[in-house]
Structure 1
Amino acid sequence: MDGNIAETRQRLRDAMPVARRWAYFDHAAVAPVSGPAAAAMQRWVDESVSEGDTMWPEWGRQLKSMRQSAANLIGAATDEIALVPNTTAGINLVAEGLDWRSGDNLVTLGDEYPSNLYPWMHLADRGVETRRVPTADGVVDYDQLADRSDDRTRLITVSWVAFSNGCRRNLDAIAEIAQRKGALLFVDAIQGLGVFPLDVSRTPIDFLAADGHKWLLGPEGAGIAYIRRDRLPLLRATAVGAHSVVHAYDYTHIELKLKQDAARYEGGSLNVPGMFGLGASIDLLQSLGVENVAAAILDATDSICSKLREGGFRVVSPRDGEQRSGIVSFEFPGADLLAVRRHCLEQGVALACRAGRIRVSAHAYNTGEDIDRLMSSLATFTE
C-alpha cells in the first residue's frame, strides 16, 4: 500500500471513534461524527451551560474561522460562503431567488436526489420547465446534456457524485457546456465535498451547496452554500431576517440594507454548535490533504469492487478513472435487500439499500479488515 494512503488512513481512523465497533460503510447516508467535531460541539455545550451568551464574542470569532475553512476547502472567498442548515436550503436559495420568467427552462439529470429535483419542479407554476437528461447507471452523455440546453435555459443543475451509484461527474465539462449555452451552473456537492478536490476559482461554478453530515464527517443541520461573488445580485434574498443587514446587531436601526456578501442569506440564528463541529471536521480533512483522502477512498473502493466481483456480485457503479468515488453499488440477485442490511448491521457492518441495489460508501479510514468484515457478512447472509 502507498505510504501516504496508509498514513492518511490511520490518522483519520484515530479521529473516528466509530471505528472501534463498526465497519462503517454508510457515509453516503449519514456519517458518524468525527472526534474533533464532537469535541468542538461539546466545548460549545460546556461554555453555553457555564457562561451563557457572554461567550458570543469568542463564538463569533470561531464562526469567522469556520467560514474561512469552508472557503479554503473549495478555493472561494469568505464573502462567497453562506452557512446553511442543509443542502436543500442551499438549493432553494437559487430556486427561489432567481428571477425566473415563463418559458425559461433548467436542465438536470434523470437520477438526481429528490432534493435536487423538487425545488426546480416546484417552479412549474411559474412556467419554468425542468428537463431531465437520462444517465446510463450514472454516466452522463455530455453531448445530450448540451443538446437539451437552449437559449431559454437559465440553469444547469447536477450532483457532482450520483447518490445511488457513485458516478463522479466531470464538472469542468459541465461548466463548459453551461458557459457555451449562456446558462448558470449549480452543483449539489454533498457526495463529494471534502474528499475530492474542487477549486471554484478554476472550475467556473456559479452556485454550490453541501451538507456536512456525509463525507465531511460533521453533524446534521450544518452545511455551506457558495454563491459566486458576481452572481450575488442575481439572487433575491427570500428569507430575510435580522442578520441579513449590514447593521445586523443594531436592533433599533430599521433599514433594509442587505449585506453585500453571501451572509445576507443567514437571516436568523445559526446552528452554532453544528457549525463548530463541521468546521472541526473540515479542518481535520484539510490537515490530511484532500488529495490524500481521495486516494485512500479510491484505494478502499477499488479493493471492495475487486472482492465483490470475486464473490460473484455485479458492480454497477462506474469504475473508470475519475468517474470513481467513495460509493459502490452492486446487485444481490434474489435477496431481500432490507434483510441483507439487517443481517450486516447485526454483524457490525453498516451499509444501505438504494435503487434496488446494495450501496456501500467507504471513507478514507476504512481498512482491509473492515472490508473483510463486509465480505464475510455478505457471504453468511441466508434468508
Structure 2
Amino acid sequence: MSTMLITSHPAPVREAIGRHRDALDADPVAYLEENGTRLTEASRAAAASYLGMHPAHVALTDSTTMGVGLIYTGLKVGPGQEVLTTDEDYYVTHESLRHLTDATGATERRISLFDDISEATDGGIVQRIVDAIRPETRLLALTWVHSSTGLKIPVGSIAVALQEINAGRDEQDHVLFGLDAVHGFGVETDSFFDLGVDFLMAGCHKWLFGPRGTGIAAISERGLGAVRPIVPTFDDARVFSRWYAGEDYALSNNGRTLTPGGFKDFEHRWALAEAFALHEEIGRARVAERTHTLAGDLKDALAGIRGVSVVTPRQPGLSAGIVCFDVEGLEPEEVVSRLRSRSVVASVAPYPSAHVRLTPSIRNSEAEIEAAARAVRSII
C-alpha cells in the first residue's frame, strides 16, 4: 500500500516504455528525430484532456518537486508582496518559496489550517485562509491532500473565496492560487477548472500509475502571465529558431516554453499517454469511488483496533487515499518495520509530527485491506 510513494508500471505503460526503449536502442537518433515531437505532444495532449484544458497550458516535468520548483521560483513578485502558505505544507513548497523570496525580496508567511485535525471542517479551513489574506498577498500556495495526515482540503471552495477577494482588486494584485496536487491527481475527478487554481503541479508516477520520472504543471491564462521560465526549453521550437536566427525570442509563455529542455528519459515521457488512457478506460469516477471505498474500509478497520488512533479524517470529503494512524507505545518507524516484515508496505510521514501511512488504491483488494488490518493488530 505504497502508491503515495511510487507505483509499479501497469502493463500498458510497461509495454509502451519497452517499445520506445527498444526503438531508441536500435536507432536513437532517427527514432528521436522522427517521433520525438509527435510523442511528446501526445503525452501533453493526454494530460490536458484529463484535466479538461488546452495542451498549450500544460508543461511536462519530471516530478511534483520539479513542477513546484519551476512555478514558484519563477513567479513574478517583488518587495512589498508576500506569498502565503501553511504550516501543514511539505518541504518542497516551503523550500521553493524560500528560493523565491531570497531572489525577489518578497516575503513568505505561514498559517495553520486547523488547531486539531479531528475538528477540521471545510468551512473552518476556508475561513482561516480568507482571514489570512492581506492586500500584499500575491500567491496562496497549498497542497490538495496532505501527505502528513491524509487531510484533503476544499480546493474548489477556497478558489471561490479567492474569486470574491480578487473581484475587488486590480488584476496585477490578484491572489494567485498554486496547488501541489499529487495526492489528489489520479484519485479525484475534478478538472482543472473545477478546482479553480492557477497552477497545478503533480507527479504522474503515483496515483496515476504513470511512468517513473514523469509529472505535469498545468497553468491558467492568468498564471501564464505571472510566471517566467526557469530552464531553457526545446519544446517550443520558436524560442530556439529565433535565437538561432538572432531575432528577439521573448515570447509569451505557454506550457511548452515552461517545459524544461534537455535530454530526458524519453521512453518514460512518451509512455505517459498510456497511463492517462488507462485511467480513462477504467473511468475516473470508478477510480475515485474505489479508492475512497478502500480507504474508508481501512480507516474503519484500524479504528476498531485497541491502541490504534486514526489521524486521517473519516469523512470522504476531507480525505482521499492516504490513511495515517498511530499505534500506542510504538514509534512510527517501528510500526513500519514490523508491518513490512509481515509483507505490508507502509511508510512514515516525513514531518516533525510523524505518523504511519497506508495508501490503498485500485490495485488493492478488499482482502488486502483486511490483511493489512490484521497485520496491524498482530504487532500490538
Q: What is the TM-score of this pair, normalised by structure 1?
A: 0.87
Q: Which amino acid aligns with 1:379?
A: R
Q: Which residue among 79, 92, 96 is the counterpart of 2:69?
A: 92
State the shift of 1:195 in Å: 1.4
Closer/same/farther in 2, CA of residues 255 and 347 from structure 1, 3 Å limit: farther
For 2:334 and 2:316, how far apart are their aligned partners in 1? 33
Are positions 1:349 and 2:325 aligned together? Answer: no
Query: 1:150 touches 1:181 (CA, 8 Å); kept in 2?
Result: no
Other structure's SS at 1:43 match: helix
1:266 aligns with 2:259: yes
Change (3 A) 1:241 1:68: closer
Please tell me whether residue 174 in structure 1 is matched to residue 158 in structure 2.
Answer: yes
Tell me the residue number matched to 1:189: 181
- The answer as to 2:216 corresponding to 1:224 is yes
Pair 1:129-2:107 in alignment: yes
Cα contact 1:161–1:168 (8 A) shared by 2? yes
The equivalent of 1:36 in structure 2 is: 12
Q: State the partner residue of 1:49.
A: 25
Tell me the alpha carbon deviations over residues 48-95 of structure 1, each in whole angstroms, 9 at most, x when there is no partner: 111222123234322222111100111111000000112122222332
Cα distance in structure 1, aligned partners of 2:44 and 2:76: 28
Give the Cα–Cα distance (whole angstroms) in 1 for the partners of residues 143 and 247 of structure 2. Answer: 38
Q: What letter corresponds to residue 304 of structure 1 in structure 2?
A: L
Post-superposition offset of 1:286: 1.5
Amino acid at match of 1:157: A
1:27 aligns with 3
Residue 147 of structure 1 corresponds to 131
CA distance, structure 2, for counterparts of residue 156 and residue 127 of structure 1: 17
Percent identity, please. Answer: 23
Question: Tell me, what secondary structure is at the counterpart of 1:246?
Answer: helix
CA RMSD of the aligned region, Å? 2.1
Deviation at 1:132, TM superposition (A): 1.5
Whichever residue aligns with residue 214 of structure 1, its letter is K
Q: Which whole-Å CA distance do the structure 2 matches of 1:31 and 1:100 have between them?
A: 36
Amino acid paired to 1:115: V
Question: 1:292–1:193: structure 2 CA closer, same or farther, 3 Å change rule?
Answer: same
Match of 1:325 among 317, 320, 325: 320
Q: 2: CA distance between counterparts of 1:231 and 1:321?
A: 30
Distance in structure 1 (CA, Å) of the matches to 2:253 and 2:110 = 34
Report the Cα distance in structure 2 between the residues aligned to 1:371 and 1:177, rounded to whole angstroms: 38
Whether the aligned pair in 1 keeps the contact of 2:242 and 2:248 (CA below 8 Å) is no
Q: Which of 273, 278, 294 is the equivalent residue of 1:279?
A: 273
What SS does the corresponding residue of 1:348 show, helix, strand or coil? coil
1:107 touches 1:131 (CA, 8 Å); kept in 2?
A: yes
On the 8 A contact 2:81/2:137 being kept in 1, the answer is yes
Q: Is the Cα–Cα contact under 8 Å of residues 61 and 215 in structure 2 kept in the other structure?
A: yes
Partner residue in 2 for 1:11: none
Residue in 2 that maps onto 1:335: 330
CA contact (8 A) 2:125 2:153 kept: no
Aligned counterparts of 1:377 and 1:350: Cα–Cα separation in 2: 11
Amino acid at match of 1:338: E
Asked if 1:308 is matched to 2:302, the reply is yes
Contact preservation (8 Å) 1:151, 1:181: no
Deviates more, 1:255-264 or 1:307-316: 255-264
* Larger CA deviation: 188-197 vs 319-328: 319-328
- CA distance in structure 2 between the aligned counterparts of 1:188 and 1:362, rounded to whole angstroms: 20
1:251 positional shift: 8.1
Q: 1:247 to 1:123 in 2, by over 3 A?
A: closer
**Residue 265 and residue 292 in structure 1: after superposition, are their counterparts in 2 closer, same or farther (change >3 A)?**
same
Q: Give the Cα separation in 2 of the matches to 1:43 and 1:332.
A: 46
Structure 1 counterpart SS, 2:200: strand
* 259 and 181 in structure 1: CA distance in 2 versus 1, 3 angstrom threshold: closer
Amino acid across the alignment from 1:64: E
> Quick one: distance in 2 between partners of 1:288 and 1:47?
29
Alignment correspondent of 1:71: 48
Secondary structure of 2:379's match?
Answer: coil
> Which moves more between the two structures, 294-303 or 101-110?
101-110
Q: Is the 8 A contact 2:178 2:200 kept in 1?
A: yes
Q: CA deviation at 1:114?
A: 0.8
- TM-score (norm. length: structure 2): 0.88
Q: Does structure 1 conserve the Cα–Cα contact (< 8 Å) formed by 2:292 and 2:316?
A: no
User: Counterpart of 2:169?
Assistant: none
Distance 1:250 1:50, change over 3 A: farther
Q: Deviations over 1:212-248 (max 9, x none)?
A: 1211112332100011134322212222244445164
- Quote how far apart the aligned CAs of 1:267 are: 4.0
